[in-house]
Amino acid sequence: MRLGVSVSVSAIIFFTSFALCLSMVFSATQVYYEGIKEAEDQNALRTQNSLHSSFEIMTSGYNATKHVLSINLSNTGSSTLATRHLDVLTDGVLVTGNITSIKSGAIAAGQWYPATTITITLKQAQKPERVKVSSEYGVSAYTSTIQSI
Amino acid sequence: MASTSISHLIWFIVAVLVATATAVTFVTIVDSYSEGIKDVGKDTTGSLLTSVDFINDPSAVIYKKATSTITFYVKNTGNYDIETSSMLLVANGTAASGSALTVSIIVNGPEFAYGSVAQVTAVVPNLREGVDYSAWMNVNGLSPSGNRQGSDTTSMIFKIKAV
């Protein structure tokens, strides 16, 4: 057996392992960049929706007889907001569970479109001093003017 | 003549063994490096998809004086679910995690998914009304397969409302 055969076989082993290593690094890098690219896209979409979200509390009224708080809000941004992800706090306490209806006009609103208004009605034991409403992207509106109705 | 052949054969075997051992070592190192790249990618991806926000009224964070218990409301605003067991809350320099935190998903539960709100309570002694405090919270995201992946931190300046 000639010495050249040993060299050739060793070279083949080295080249094969080198090719294997290259494919492993390529595969890992591809997974890395594809995953991050997709996540960056979703993150950018979320940020975009957040930046385009804006709403304000127009009026808020409390009915002491029925123990009902009504909050009228206007979507002043350009994002459509899901009403099921709206949260309400009165005097620092989360009262989202007390919401009885979210309506646009007389119709129950699932989506809250730009330049439209909704009314959130909820059960409330006492007239609150402050009301906060928070959207799905964490954008919020406050009021400390609650009328008696 | 025969001794030359045996000598060549031994050289051949030694050369192949050394080449194989070197190649295996090399592949093992590169494989470990590749797994590291994937892990870093997953963690970065998770951090991009994990997001929480305090939704408390910052001027009226509920504080039970009798038990020195403060209540925060944390909303999942990211794409990933949040692991509630590994939350870390620091309020006025007092850190709480694990069993020191009481976490319950009070809106859109039972998972702490997108749009859900968690009520997080912890014992933080000696807070007074009218004083500005700061709090921050660190959470870990959960990938769709349920593995811990990525993290997010949110913070807030607040006043308490003692009850």
Are A29 and A99 in a shared domain?
Answer: no
Give how many domains chain A has, as a whole number: 2
Contact status, residue A138 vs residue B73, Cβ threshold 8 Å: no
> Which residues of chain A lie closer than 8 angstroms to B129, CB-CB?
none
Window 124-163 of B: residues touching A by CB (8 A cutoff) are 161
Are A37 and A18 in a shared domain?
Answer: yes
- The CATH superfamily holding the domain B50-162 is Immunoglobulins (2.60.40.10)
pLDDT tens by residue, B35-74: 999 999 999 999 999 999 999 999 999 999 999 999 999 9
> Which residues of chain B lie closer than 8 angstroms to A7, CB-CB?
15
Q: Which of A72-81, B3-12, B107-116, B138-147 shows the lowest mean pLDDT across its residues? A: B3-12
What stretches of chain B show up as alpha helix (H) in DSSP? Answer: 2-49
Instruction: For residue A114, count other CB atoms closer than 10 A to its CB.
Output: 16
Q: Where are the domains of chain B?
A: 50-162
Angle, CA B113 vertex, CA B111 and CA B119 arms, to 5°? 70
Are A11 and A61 in a shared domain?
Answer: no
Single-letter amino acid code for the residue at B86:
S
Residue B136 token pair:
């921050």
Are A33 and A6 in a shared domain?
Answer: yes
pLDDT tens by residue, B83-109: 999 999 999 999 999 999 999 999 988
Average pLDDT on B24-28 reads: 94
> Is the predicted ipTM greater than 0.90, yes or no?
no
Are A35 and A75 in a shared domain?
Answer: no
Q: Which domain holds residue A92?
A: 55-148
Task: Indicate left, alpha or beta for A67 from its phi (over 0: left) and psi (-120 to 50: alpha).
Answer: left
| Residue in A113, A114, A131, A111 with CA at minimum distance from that of residue A122 | A131
CA distance A105 to A118: 7
Are A129 and A73 in a shared domain?
Answer: yes
Are A27 and A94 in a shared domain?
Answer: no
